[in-house]
A = this chain, B = another copy of it.
Amino acid sequence: MQFSPLIEELIQALRCLPGVGPKSAQRMALQLLERDRAAGKHLAEVLQLSMSEVGHCASCRTLTEEKLCRVCTSGRRNDQVLCIVETPADMLALEQSGVYDGRYFVLLGHLSPLEGIGPDDLGFDELVEKLRSQPVEEVILATNPTLEGETTAQYLLELLSSLPLKVTHLAQGIPLGGELEYLDGGTLSRAFSGRQGFASVKETNG
């Protein structure tokens, strides 16, 4: 025995959400049906609207229902620095850290031959075009420190080598509050090979 067909369909449909297995999907469906139909209806409406209205920023490619995102339309950003990230979530994380005031370019993924994701899917032509037409002096490659992220950064580094630009990447090492004992070998090894003398702090910042 199962629930009625429509309830079973709802439970199935909820499983498109990441991290939602059969048991949580059932709990979600029953909670909405038993206690919170108004919230369920509201979610249905916002979901419907989002799936059809949200597109990409015409300049940086991040997700937005507007033509240009808030960062691209802001007049208070540094036009000379462009930070390349993989996803809108990465862009948000950098924005929330408050350390960066330049512009962005969002790849919406990383190179992955296995998944069939190539340069065309990541807007590389658009990126080069943007760099040729705008006064960017430094490009920060902020892809993730994963195999795919670093392959993507490497590819970009070559692609951009013909342009008159400084290309940098985020420093890699031990995260703040990270305990040596719990860090993986890769992180430790990079922290070692990139170690800095105490005297060089000023030079590094300069």
Contact = CB atoms under 8 A, between A and B. Distances in A.
Of A1, A14, A34, A89, chain B has the most CB atoms within 10 Å of the CB of A1
A66 B8 CA distance: 13
A34 B3 contact: no
Interface of A: 1-7, 9-10, 13-14, 16-19, 24, 26-34, 36-37, 39-54, 63-66, 69-71, 87-89, 92, 95-96, 108
Contacts of A13: 39, 42-43, 46-47
B40 A63 contact: no
B30 A51 contact: no
Contacts of A31: 17-18
B63 A7 contact: yes
Contacts of A71: 1
A26 B89 contact: yes
Contacts of A44: 44-45, 47-48, 51
A52 B45 CA distance: 13
Contact of A47 (B10, B18, B50, B87): B10
12 contacts: A1-B95, A1-B96, A6-B49, A6-B50, A10-B46, A13-B43, A14-B17, A16-B43, A26-B89, A29-B50, A44-B47, A45-B48
A33 B19 CA distance: 16
Which of A2, A54, A63, A70 is most buried by chain B, counting CB atoms within 10 A of its CB?
A54
Given A4-B63, A16-B40, A44-B45, 16 more contacts: A1-B70, A6-B49, A7-B54, A7-B63, A7-B65, A13-B43, A16-B36, A18-B28, A19-B27, A32-B47, A34-B108, A37-B51, A40-B47, A40-B50, A41-B52, A43-B47
Contacts of A3: 63-64, 88, 92
